[in-house]
Amino acid sequence: MPKLGPIKRKELIQFMRELGFDGPFAGGKHEFMKRGALKVWVPNPHHGEGIGRNLLRKVLRQAGVSESEWENL
C-alpha cells in the first residue's frame, strides 16, 4: 500500500503496472506508459530526488487514478 509521495521513479512504474499500464515507452523528452488509448507521462527526477507528492498527484490525475485507489494498492 504506497502512500501518496514522495516515491522513487522505479516504484511509480511498478505500481502503474499493477494498475494495468504498459511501458514505459520512449517518447520525446519523457517516457510514457499506456493503458488502452490513455497515455501518462512518467517524470524523470534528477539526482535521485524522487517524485514529490504534488507531482505524483498530477500523474495520478492524468492516469485517472484516485488517491484512495492509489493508497489501497
Give me the residue spans of the domains in the chain: 9-71
Beta bridge partners of 22: 34
Q: How far apart are CA 65 and CA 24, in angstroms?
A: 17
pTM of the model: 0.86
> In terms of CATH, what superfamily is 9-71?
Hypothetical protein. (3.30.920.30)
Tracing cell 535521485 back to the chain, one arrives at 48
Using alpha carbons, list the distances in angstroms from residue 4 to 21, 26, 27. Answer: 19, 26, 26
Using alpha carbons, list the distances in angstroms from residue 39 to 31, 36, 55. Answer: 10, 8, 16
pLDDT digits (tens, 9 = 90+) for 1-44: 477 878 999 999 999 999 999 999 998 888 999 999 999 999 88
24 Cβ partners below 8 Å, 6+ apart? Answer: 13, 31, 32, 33, 42
Mean pLDDT of 51-70: 91
